[in-house]
Amino acid sequence: MASDIPSESAPAQEATLPAEIADRLRRTADGLVAAIVQQHDTGEVLMLGWMDDEALRRTLTEGRVTYWSRSRAEYWRKGDTSGHLQHVRSVAMDCDGDALLVRVDQVGAACHTGTRTCFDGRDLGAVVGEGAR
| CATH at residue 34 | 3.10.20.810
Q: Is residue 15 part of a domain?
A: no
Phi, psi dihedrals of residue 10, rounded to the nearest 5°:
-65, 135
Annotated binding site for Mg(2+): 94, 96, 98
Give the global pTM.
Answer: 0.81
Instruction: Count structural domains, the chain.
Output: 1
Dihedral in degrees, nearest 10, Cα atoms 110, 67, 30, 24: -100
**3 state DSSP class of 62:** helix
The residue range of the domain holding 80 is 24-106
Domain presence at residue 77? yes
Residue 89, in any domain of the structure: yes
pLDDT of residue 19: 86
Mind listing the pLDDT tens digit for each residue in 101-131?
999 999 999 998 889 999 988 888 888 898 7
Whether 56 is in a domain gets the answer yes
Pairing assessment for the beta strands 99-106 and 33-39 based on DSSP bridges: parallel
123 located within any domain: no
Band (pLDDT 50/70/90 cuts) for residue 27 is very high
Binding-site residues? 94-96, 98, 111, 118
Q: What is the pLDDT of residues 40-94, one digit of tens each?
A: 999 999 999 999 999 999 999 999 999 998 888 889 998 888 889 999 999 999 9
> Would you list which residues are annotated within the binding site for Zn(2+)?
95, 111, 118
